[in-house]
A and B are shown apart, each in its own frame.
Chain A
C-alpha cells in the first residue's frame, strides 16, 4: 500500500490518466460533432442540388423563359412561373408594407413606452403569434377572415378608394388581400422581435442626451433610436420578407390559386409556394412534376438571396455592437 502511494505520489482524481476512455474519448467526440456539423452544412447543398436535378426535365424543356411565361396548363403541358412569381412578390410586398411599420411600432412600445412589468409578458404574447401553425392560420383565413373581407372590409375599401386599381374589382373571400393579411400576421412576430433587440442596444447616453436637449419621446426616437437601429431594422424586415415569400400552406388555403395577373388586391391569385402545395396530389405527368420542382428551385433561389442578405446585415449589426 505504501509502495503504491510512493509510485504515484501526487495523483489526484482529476489528474490526466492514460486511460483508454480518454485516448478514444477526445477524438471520438470531436469527430462525431464534426460529422454532425458536416451533415448540417451538407444538407443545404444537397437540397439545392436535388431541387435543380429533379427540375432538369423542365429546365431543359422551357429554359429560362419559364420565369417570364404566364401559363400553367396541364392539358397542353405548357408551364411557366410568371403568374406565380408575380403573386409571390405582390403578396409579400403588401404584407411587408403593413407588417414593417406595425412591427417597428410594437418594438417601440415594448422598449420605450410599456410599463416595465408589462414588457416581457406582452413581448412573449406577440412572439406566440409565430407559434400558431400556418395550417391553422390558413383555416382561420378561410372561415373567419375571408367572409369578413368579402362582406365588410373590401366593400368599404372599394367604396372609398375604388378609383385606385388596387381596390377596384369586386370583393372576394379568397384573394391577394387575404393572403397578404395572413402573411402579415406571420411576419410581425419575426420583425418585431429582432427590431426590439436592436432597439435595446441603443446607447442610453445618446437617448439621455436627446432628452437633455428637450426632445419629446418621439423626437428622441426619430433622432436617436431609428437612425441608430436602421440597418438592424432593414435586416429584420428582410427576414420577415423571407418568411412571407416562402409560406406555402396558409397562402394556398386563402389566395384562390388562380394564375392570373390582376391589378385588384381582391382578386384570386397564386404564389410559387402556394402553387406547389396546391398541386401536391393533382400533378400527373412527369413534366408537370418537374415544372413544380422548377418552381421550387426558383423559390429556393429567391429566398436564399433574401435570407443571406438579411443574415449578413443582422450579423454585422449585432457583431459590431456586441
Chain B
C-alpha cells in the first residue's frame, strides 16, 4: 500500500534504512563515549592527586610550618590556618549580604529592579577572578580604604584584602542560589501569612527563611567550596609573607593552600611537587566533601519544601 505521490523518507522500508540505522548507532556511541571520557577525566585527576599526594601526607606535614630555605621537611600548617581564616572572613562578608540580596529581589523589590540585580549578579559571577584580585589590589593593597576612621585598610597585602577578594567571588554564588530556593517557597504559605495580617518582616523571618534555610545553606556551602580553592584573588592580595610560621593576624598577608600549591607547582624541585600534590589532596578532599554535603542537603531540603 504505497502512499500516492508523497513518499515519507522516514519509513522503515524506505530507501537508506540501513544507513539511517547505522548513523543512529554511531551517534549513540559518540554521545556515550563523550560522557565516559568526561567522567574518566574526573576520575583520572582525582586518582592522580590521591596517588601522588597520599604518600606525603602525615602528621608532621599537617602540623609543622615550612622548613627554612634549603632544609627539607616541614609542613603546611601555616597555610591550613591561613586558608581557614581567609575563607572565614569571606564567608562572614558574603553569606549575609548574599542572602539579604536574595530576600530583597524575591520579597521587596519591584520586578524591574529585581531583574537588574539578578543580571548584575550574573555579570559579577562572570568577572575573571584575576580581575577581582587586581581590583582588591587597587583599592586595598596599593590604595586605602577608610570608612569614618572605623575601618582602615590599605598600603599592604593582608588577610582582609584576600578575604574581601574571595568574598566578591562568593557573593554571586550565594545570592543566586538563595534566590533559586526562595522561588521554591510555596506562594500559598506567603498568602496565608498575609491573610492572617502578618507583617512582611515577620513573614520573611518566621516563614520564608525557615522554609528555605536548607537550600540557602547549600548555596553557602557551595560558595565556601568554590573560594577554598581560589588562587587568583589571593595572588595580589595575600601572597608575600614577611616571616615563616603561623600567622593569625589578618592585618598581615596570610599564607594559604591555593597560593602554596601554585608556588610549589612552579618550582623545579621534585620534593616541592610532592608537597604540592599533598596539599592538593588535602584541598580536593575538603572541596569534594563540601560539594557532597551540599548536594545531599539540597536533595533533602527540596523534598521537604515540596512535601
Q: Does A64 contact B (CB under 8 A)?
A: no
Q: Which residue of A lies closest to B284 (CB)?
A: A136
Instruction: Name A's B-contacting residues (CB within 8 A).
Output: 14-16, 22, 25-26, 28-30, 32-37, 39-41, 43-44, 46-47, 50-51, 53-54, 101-102, 105-106, 108-110, 112-114, 122, 124-126, 128-129, 131-140, 142-144, 185, 188-189, 192, 213-219, 221, 239, 242, 245-249, 253, 273, 276-277, 280-281, 289, 292-293, 296, 299-300, 303-304, 306-308, 310-311
Q: Per-residue 0/1 for B124-165: is the Cβ within 8 Å of any A Cβ (1 yes, 0 no)?
A: 101111111011001100110000000000000000000000
Are B100 and A214 in contact (CB-based, < 8 A)?
no
Are A137 and B101 in contact (CB-based, < 8 A)?
no
Are A129 and B101 in contact (CB-based, < 8 A)?
no
Are B258 and A304 in contact (CB-based, < 8 A)?
no
| Given A216-B24, A307-B122, CB of A50 within 8 Å of CB of B130 | no
Are B123 and A307 in contact (CB-based, < 8 A)?
yes
Instruction: Name B's A-contacting residues (CB within 8 A).
Output: 8, 10-12, 14, 20-21, 23-24, 27-28, 30-35, 37-39, 41-42, 44-46, 48-49, 52, 96-98, 100-101, 103-105, 107-109, 113, 116-117, 119-124, 126-132, 134-135, 138-139, 142-143, 168, 171-172, 175, 196-202, 204-205, 225-226, 228-232, 235-236, 239-240, 258, 261-262, 265-266, 273, 276-277, 280, 283-284, 287-288, 291, 295
Q: Which residues of B contact A112 (CB under 8 A)?
A: 31
**A293→B143 CA distance, assembly (Å):** 14
Q: Which residues of B contact A306 (CB under 8 A)?
A: 126
| Given A15-B197, A128-B42, A140-B48, CB of A248 within 8 Å of CB of B101 | no
> Contacting A242 at CB < 8 Å: which of B126, B198, B288?
B126
Nearest CB in chain B: distance from A150 CB, A: 16
Q: Which residues of B contact A47 (CB under 8 A)?
A: 127, 131-132, 135, 168
Of B113, B119, B225, which is in contact with the most chain A CB atoms at under 10 Å from its CB? Answer: B119
Q: Which residue of A lies closest to B13 (CB)?
A: A214
**A40→B14 CA distance, assembly (Å):** 60
Which secondary structure dominates where chain A touches chain B? helix
Q: Which residues of A contact B31 (CB under 8 A)?
A: 105-106, 108-109, 112-113
Q: Which residue of A lies closest to B21 (CB)?
A: A216
Q: Which residue of B lies closest to A114 (CB)?
A: B35
Which secondary structure dominates where chain B touches chain A? helix
**A217→B21 CA distance, assembly (Å):** 9
Given known contacts A109-B35, A140-B45, what 17 new A-B pairs fall within 8 Å (CB)?
A15-B197, A16-B197, A34-B104, A37-B113, A47-B131, A54-B138, A105-B33, A106-B38, A129-B41, A133-B258, A136-B49, A139-B280, A142-B265, A216-B24, A249-B258, A299-B130, A304-B126
The number of residue pairs between A and B whose CB atoms lie closer than 8 Å in the complex comes to 279
**A81→B175 CA distance, assembly (Å):** 35
Are A216 and B287 in contact (CB-based, < 8 A)?
no
Q: Which residue of B lies closest to A300 (CB)?
A: B131
**A250→B291 CA distance, assembly (Å):** 21
Are B291 and A39 in contact (CB-based, < 8 A)?
no
Are A124 and B232 in contact (CB-based, < 8 A)?
no
Are B128 and A37 in contact (CB-based, < 8 A)?
no
Are B231 and A249 in contact (CB-based, < 8 A)?
yes
Can you sample 6 A-B contacts with CB below 8 Å? A43-B124, A132-B42, A246-B126, A246-B131, A247-B128, A307-B122
Nearest CB in chain B: distance from A250 CB, A: 9
Q: Which residues of A contact B172 (CB under 8 A)?
A: 40
Q: Which residues of B contact A308 (CB under 8 A)?
A: 123
Of A113, A114, A134, A280, which is in contact with the most chain B CB atoms at under 10 Å from its CB? Answer: A280
Are A303 and B42 in contact (CB-based, < 8 A)?
no
Are B32 and A109 in contact (CB-based, < 8 A)?
yes
**A304→B120 CA distance, assembly (Å):** 11
> Contacting B45 at CB < 8 Å: which of A34, A137, A253?
A137
Are A219 and B288 in contact (CB-based, < 8 A)?
no
